Amino acid sequence: MVSIDALTGLRDTLLGAQPDPPPLLVLLTALGALVGVVTRRPWRIARNAVTIAHEGGHALAALLTGRRLHGIRLHSDTSGLTLSAGRPTGPGMVITLLAGYLAPPLVGLVGAGILGGNRITLLLWIAVALLLAMLVLIRNVFGVLSLLVTGGLVLAISWYAPPQVQAAFAYTGVWFLLFGGVRPVVELQQLRARGRMPASDADQLAGITPFSAFFWVTVFALVNLVVLGVGGVLLAGPILTDLTG
């Protein structure tokens, strides 16, 4: 039986604020995340995290708009697919299609807000909870393995790693989602220009709205850049404090 003291200790660990991270740590994690996004080989591996957020965004939007969610598939080439049923047009479908490319930086923005309050352990545990919730929606083996590995890594770091390692991991992950929301939009337009993604989210939005696919790609890009800027300011708090102090 779990004692009250143990539960109190767990609550304090989750909800308590950790010390401010060193400004150098914030800067180095930003640079590391940026290198991971712009460098080809690391991006091919780490992009799975962006895909998880992308498909999770589709799934959450589908549920919130009353669509019937059939499941999510994550593939080894870092692509993914979220299947839902409902009206093929209308606000629910528009929101569901919009959510994919916007989800990674928006998740990063929420993470930046939590880190701004120095709730590093809380952020890691929320990430584990979201990955477990998403796991029940996965419909292929690679997707299950991908979520188990990702969730296991986050859980292990949150449970066993010292505070500085937790901070470095959390900041790198949030920076990566913020930066990583921009590159897929650029890749989307490049592939569309070559005629290789005729059924992209942007093209599907063009099919059910009066606006062109390029308009929607531009919306993705502008929103993600604004979110990157806001999230960057939140994460750079220790640096700004150090400079002004």
pLDDT in tens, 189-221: 999 999 888 889 999 999 999 999 999 999 999
114: in domain: yes
CA 46 – CA 54 distance, rounded (Å): 13
Is 12 part of any domain? Answer: no
Tokens 């502008």 map to which residue?
A: 222
- The verdict on residue 197 lying in a domain is yes
In a domain, 64, yes or no: no
CA gap 229, 115 in Å, rounded = 16
Count of structural domains, the chain: 1
pLDDT tens digits along 157-184: 999 999 999 999 999 999 999 999 999 9
User: Is 14 among the domain residues?
Assistant: no
Per DSSP, the three-state class of 187 is helix
pTM, 2 dp? 0.92
- Tokens of residue 85, six digits: 């049923």
Of all residues in the chain, the percent with pLDDT exceeding 70 is 91
- Determine, yes or no, domain membership for 3: no
Residue 82 lies in a domain: no
What is the extent of the structural domain holding 227?
21-55+101-244
Distance CA 29, CA 182 (A): 18
